[in-house]
Amino acid sequence: MKSKILLLVLLGVLAMPLTSWGQIAMRLELSRHYFLQYEPVFAKILLRNDSGHAVAFGNHKKLQGQLLFEIIDSRQRRISRIKGTVYPMVGILLRPGATREIVVPVNKYYNLLKCGKYRIKAFIQHNMFEDSYQSNECTFDISQGSVIWQRTVGVPDFAEKKQIKRVKTRTFTIRCLLEGQRKTYYLLLEDKKKIYSIKRIGFELGEERMVCDVDNFSRLHIMLPISPKVFTCLIYNINGELESREVYKRTDTIPTLIRDPKTGKVYVAGGEKAIKKLDYEDHKEK
């Protein structure tokens, strides 16, 4: 009998959707648990108002409140909040018993530039309450990944209105990040002063490997397998924007990229165009 009662209690705890600390219940979730260095880390916070009163966040002293995070690194050091930043809670209203979902780009408010393992909790403070309320704890890793392809290219001057004394350059890098048992490919575009783009572009798939090349307009072409028989061809411009996406399938030959050494143009060779819903389901860029 006692074992049955204990089992029911445990099931109740496991089914509890939010961490309850009195009048405000909270649950914290992360978009993922593995991130590439400099990639945005998004946290989703679900709030439930158990106070029996409406809770409004505003500029008046009685309505002031904050959403904060406690982030601890692997050396047990607290990560400081970036000076002058605070998540805007003004205008949020929690009616009695109501829930509200908030998504926060955490590294916009906290310094998460260094690689390592982190623990994170969310806190709510409001002048209506004497206590602050906290969420459950989550963990995440930030890593540089490993470089599998890299090319530095010149930045084209399409207007050609002014004489260029020195050609500006940017670097395309494909990095591989281990997410548990899965390897994820990222595209990073940067120069010595700035990161222009970070994009997740796909996953490692068996023995098939991606093929990359750069054309005469400094655009990056990627032929990436998305299944044993289907490949996607992605073209990114010098600003890291996706210009084209086409899907090919294997025939007697495997789709690949060929660069014309005379013109610098990059072509698809082998395979043939795939048909959506017949040969593949749509895989949109993330």
Q: Tell me, letter by letter, the H, E, C secondary structure of 158-190.
A: CCCCCCCCCCCEEEEEEEEEEECCEEEEEEEEE
Q: In the structure encoding, which two tokens stand for residue 228, read together? A: 């044993």
- Of the chain, the percentage scoring pLDDT greater than 90 comes to 80
Q: How far apart, in whole angstroms, are the C-alpha atoms of residue 163 and residue 155?
A: 14
Instruction: Provide mean pLDDT across the span 6-11.
Output: 33
Q: Which residues contact 218 (CB under 8 A, 6 or more apart)?
A: 153, 154, 155, 156, 170, 237, 238
Look up tokens 């690689």; give the residue. 115
Please tell me whether the overall predicted TM-score, pTM, comes out greater than 0.75 for this model: yes
Residue pointed to by tokens 């610098």? 264
- CA 204 vs CA 34, 185, 189, 217, 240: distances in Å: 16, 7, 20, 28, 21
How are beta strands 65-73 and 116-126 bridged, if at all? Answer: antiparallel
CATH class belonging to 19-142: mainly beta
Q: What is the CA radius of gyration of the chain?
A: 25
What is the end-to-end Cα distance of the chain in Å, rounded? 51
pLDDT band for position 283 (50/70/90)?
A: low
Taking only the tens place, the pLDDT of each residue in 20-51 is 445 899 999 999 999 999 999 999 999 999 99
Predicted pLDDT at 187: 98
The pLDDT of residue 11: 34
Q: How confident is the model at residue 16 (pLDDT cuts 50, 70, 90)?
A: very low
- How far apart (Å, rounded) are the C-alpha atoms in residues 251 and 272? 7
How confident is the model over 40-64, as a mean pLDDT? 95
**What is the pLDDT confidence band of residue 209, given thresholds at 50, 70 and 90?**
confident
What are 137's two structure tokens? 């704890």
- For residue 220 the two structure tokens come to 């990056």
Rounded-to-10 torsion of CA 275, 278, 279, 284: 70
Reported for 191-198, long-range contacts at CB under 8 A and 24+ positions apart, including other chains, are 195/38, 196/170, 196/239, 196/240, 197/236, 197/239, 197/240, 197/241, 198/36, 198/38, 198/39
* DSSP one-letter code for 82: P
pLDDT digits (tens, 9 = 90+) for 68-111: 999 999 999 999 999 999 999 999 999 999 999 999 999 999 99
- Strand segments (E) across 31-98: 34-36, 42-49, 55-56, 65-73, 93-94
In this prediction, residue 70 carries a pLDDT of: 97
